[in-house]
Structure 1
Amino acid sequence: MSTGSAARPLKPTLADWVKAAGPPLILVIVLQACYGLSLAHHIGPLPGLRVGLTLALFLLDAVGRRLINDYEDHRRGLDRPDSVRPDSSLALRLDMRQVRLVGMTCFGLAWVLALYLSVTSTPWILVLVVICYAAYFAYAGGPKPLGHHGLGELIDFLVTGAAVTLLVVLANAGRLDAVAVIGALGPACLFSALMLHNNARDVDKDARAGKTTLPHLIGLGPTKVLYAMLVTGFYVVVALVAVLLNAPWYLLPLVTLPWAASTVWGVARADRLGDTMISWSRLYLVMIANFALFSIGAWL
């Protein structure tokens, strides 16, 4: 263990808990909610209370998902004190039982908000929410997690990106249209790309723990091609939304194209899968900028 880690106080602080909750992930998830609300904006007026509850739901869900994922990785042996990312719950010396408790509490509160938004809008939305949470559990939990069998990217595309964005639109606007369905594919592409990037960097560690991910199955070349297609897909979706709505301000995310291209090029230059590839945090920042710019453009 490094000298810096040994110098950490034995008792975790509030700052440690905040760091473990993943502020960058929280920002991405909350801005995804803003993206969905922006898609709903063109359908009709949005009640302020529902918007606030939607954002709170996404905040609680993001914290719960991060902590439960940390707990599951620790329980399954994917994270060990000598081999773990520095901002994980385990590296920050949090009690993993408390991590699980806090994570489940956040999920519980998110469920309460989801229930309220469902019964006060279209009750069958709750069925879709149940399906989404079941998919999350199937990805990271249970006896045979789907994320350990090369299906993480597919789940992130269909559920984390597309379905969740559509649920935001439906819960706040009361209905969907073709533009909303097309627009939801934007976050789907980026969340799937983020998962692919993360799995490509962790392929060695995952293999040692018996976890099979998509990059392990398809290899370096196809991983690079798929990554470029997913990142490019977001900008294609944004352009389609702008054209269909005849609203050029929706094109604001296009200003990040050079940044995204640089990230794709960095992945393309990798000579092998593993932790020598560029950090996936670069794509995090691109996602934050894109969701924020799309949301700003929708309200201009």
Structure 2
Amino acid sequence: MQPSTHIDHRPPARRDWRVFWRLTRPHTLTAAFVPVCVGTVLALGETAVRFSLFAAMLVASLLIQAATNMFNEYYDYKRGLDSPESVGIGGAIVRDGLEPRTVLALAFSCFGAAMLIGVYICMQSSWWLAVIGIVCMAAGYFYTGGPVPIAYTPFGELAAGFFMGFMIILISFFVQTGHVSAKAALVAVPVAILVGAILLANNIRDLDGDREKGRKTLAILVGRGWAIRVLAMMFAVSFLWIVALVLFGTVPFWTLLALLSAPKAVAAARGFIGKTKPAEMMPAMKATAQTNTQFGFLLAIGLLVGQWL
């Protein structure tokens, strides 16, 4: 782990509720609730969905995502990666003056609340989910915590997509049905890819600063031009995957509604081209997150309509 190199020039702490709201990085939370919605809608095709379990999964997933963001905030600050001039969605410590230990305590509190909800989920389904849940939370912590943070390696996108996309869909499906189906796994793939795309977009924006700090992200290893191409390919694979599932009869025709999010994906990929300054790439980052949101909700609507008709 790199030693902290920051100089503490934090402003006086602000206790406005909006500071704590921004600390959760709300526009990243779609990466948590979209998979829960998709997994639950898939389960609706096989069984009567229990709203209490859906709500529990939704809240627990949001808490884990928020905690992961807070760990990111804390460890980026401790390693000297954040400053008042940094461009990004963080800043509760460097710009709003929150004490680092407060941010860390809030992160662990979110984990604690998620674990309590997890006990209820396990009581209603299977205690094996406790093991899976602990692994998912560990991934959230070690994404930026620990001696070798996942976010500092080329595997950040893979880890985020797998744990916050693929696994959340399967868990949401399992708690309602008591089993995991091949269909659920296949539908989870494009959602996982788009969750990973959010992280890749973030790493493209931060490429120069991350390289200076010694990170080895995928964007750094392949270079900015190829990273943008990889992002575009992730979008393309996600859309083509849905088309293939429809052609093979795995999902109903109505799931093609997800393709309506393609213009946002095009805007996201194009928004990075020719840009080198982080502030210039913020609209493209936002468009990437919006692609995930639109794709996920349109997919869920398509699945729902297909089950009704």
Common fold: TM-score over 0.5: yes
User: Residue 86 of structure 1 contacts residue 92 of structure 1 at CA under 8 Å; is this kept in 2?
Assistant: no
Write the distance in 1 (CA, Å) between the matches of 2:277 and 2:162: 25
Cα shift at 1:297: 2.3
Cα shift at 1:43: 2.6
> What residue number does 1:120 align with?
124
The yes-or-no answer on 1:298 pairing with 2:303 is yes
Unaligned runs of 5+ in 2: 1-10
The letter for the 2-side match of 1:173 is T
> What residue number does 1:74 align with?
77
> What residue number does 1:163 align with?
167
The two structures, once aligned, show a CA RMSD in angstroms of 2.4
TM-score where L is the length of structure 1: 0.88
> More displaced, 101-110 or 12-21?
12-21
Write the distance in 2 (CA, Å) between the matches of 1:180 and 1:86: 32
CA deviation profile, 1:193-221 (whole Å, cap 9, x unmatched):
11111101101111222222111111134
Cα shift at 1:169: 1.3
Distance 1:187 1:17, change over 3 A: same
User: Residue 241 of structure 1 contacts residue 250 of structure 1 at CA under 8 Å; is this kept in 2?
Assistant: no
Write the distance in 2 (CA, Å) between the matches of 1:94 and 1:138: 22
Write the distance in 2 (CA, Å) between the matches of 1:156 and 1:28: 9
The letter for the 1-side match of 2:47 is G
Choose from 53, 58, 67 the match for 2:56. Answer: 53
> More displaced, 68-77 or 18-27?
18-27
> More displaced, 182-191 or 157-166?
157-166
> What residue number does 1:211 align with?
215
Write the distance in 2 (CA, Å) between the matches of 1:25 and 1:271: 22
Number of equivalent positions: 293
Unaligned runs of 5+ in 1: 1-7
TM-score where L is the length of structure 2: 0.86
Write the distance in 1 (CA, Å) between the matches of 2:141 and 2:25: 19
Write the distance in 2 (CA, Å) between the matches of 1:250 and 1:125: 29
Cα shift at 1:273: 8.6
Cα shift at 1:263: 1.9
Cα shift at 1:87: 4.7
Choose from 259, 265, 271 the match for 1:266. Answer: 271
Write the distance in 1 (CA, Å) between the matches of 2:91 and 2:300: 30
Write the distance in 2 (CA, Å) between the matches of 1:9 and 1:52: 37
The yes-or-no answer on 1:38 pairing with 2:38 is no
> What residue number does 1:5 align with?
none
The letter for the 1-side match of 2:300 is S
